[in-house]
Amino acid sequence: MQIDWGKIFSYINGQTDKKTVEEVEFWRKEDPRNEEFYQRASDYYANQPTRNESFSEEKLDQFYSKLQKTRRRKHQRVLWQRMTVAASVILLLSLGTWWYYDMNPDKMDGMQIAMKSENAGESVFIITETGDKLTAEQLNSKMDQQTNDNQLNYTKSDSIYRVDTVKEKEIIPAHTVVVPRGKTFELVLSDGTFVLLNPQSELTYPVKFDSTSTREVTLRGEGYFEVTKSSNRFVVNTDNMKLQVYGTTFNVISRDSLPDEAVLVEGVVGITPKNSSDGKEIVLHPGDKSFVDKLGQLTVTQTDLAEYTAKRNGYILFNGKTIKQVISSLELYYDVQFIVKNDAILKKKEYVFSIKKHASLREALDMIEFVSDVKFLIEGKEVKIVE
């Protein structure tokens, strides 16, 4: 029996109806592993007065240490299939990683390792208004600021735009940051808006927003936005849609051949398909996921938000994904190509697990090998799937 994580979370906190109580209690009795998992979750949350706070790596590391002291050594595998994660991110990421490390105590230290780049690959670069291609470090020097090579912060300097003294008009140039496969990049726009760009993404934006007009950017690829509140609307343009917000948090995906996707985490946004006949705006609420295709057709469904907020907190969460879907994402994050001979074996089951975004490719593959029957062989930038 599969069960919604949100029901377990509500049951533990005593905030559910009679029907859900009966469902969870039946699930607990159905399998000893379910009861053991429930007890671990319940015990952990009983000692967490701030259990509804957002996830932090520090909390997860503390939880790891706690489980290290109490874990039982086991030799059999436990394969957890799809469960819809409607609980808080810390519940899923803490407990979702528990069964992996509880069964593999020797692998515990490996999860704490920062990214070990197995090949440098292309660098993130910024195309300026003059067409120059600069790395983040090179542009930082022009902006008279010091930030690391994985982030640009436009709120710290006014030296990158100028005033046309003849026309007495401020000239605000636009920049485009290009993030290749195998990289992620953080951007703080001039109004303080935070953007996390995922692999194979581009964002075009003004280096400074005009205080009297709409704040507008254009995205290709995937970006997670935390928009600073303002009286001026913030607009994200993609190939197929226009997304308008005030102050909010959301994730946008716009990739070739696929419908554009928007997921709202906080606040309210309006989606307008660019090719629709009526140009009507559809309002999204937290938990809504919208899809807009090239014909302007828009659909809205409900989704769990943990998968999107996890990225902000340094994790890649696979929530009910097949191995085929998982390796498709890993190709972007690690700039590799998976070689598959028997595609059918990759679609049989769905899994829930997470990996640190800065884990090495080998560490990520070790996790997949543990929860599934699939094995991998790394040969340069190719990863062969061995049956």
- pLDDT tens, residue by residue, 220-248: 999 999 999 988 999 999 999 999 997 79
Q: Which residue has the tokens 């957890």?
A: 80
| Structure token digits, residue 324 | 């085929």
Bigger pLDDT: 59 vs 258: 258
- Looking at the DSSP bridge assignments, the partners of residue 300 are 290
Report the amino acid identity of residue 206. Answer: P
Mean pLDDT of 17-26: 84
Rounded to whole angstroms, how far apart are CA atoms 37 and 99? 8
- Degrees, nearest 5: CA angle 226-57-9: 85
Bigger pLDDT: 378 vs 164: 378
Band of the pLDDT at 15, cuts 50, 70, 90? low
Band of the pLDDT at 194, cuts 50, 70, 90? very high
Mean pLDDT of 126-155: 80
Which ranges of the chain does DSSP label H, i.e. alpha helix?
5-12, 18-30, 32-46, 57-70, 89-103, 136-142, 306-312, 323-334, 361-371
| Structure token digits, residue 87 | 């609980």
| Structure token digits, residue 379 | 């040969």
Which pTM was predicted?
Answer: 0.69
Band of the pLDDT at 168, cuts 50, 70, 90? low
Rounded to whole angstroms, how far apart are CA atoms 152 and 162? 19
| Chain-centroid distance, C-alpha 354 | 11
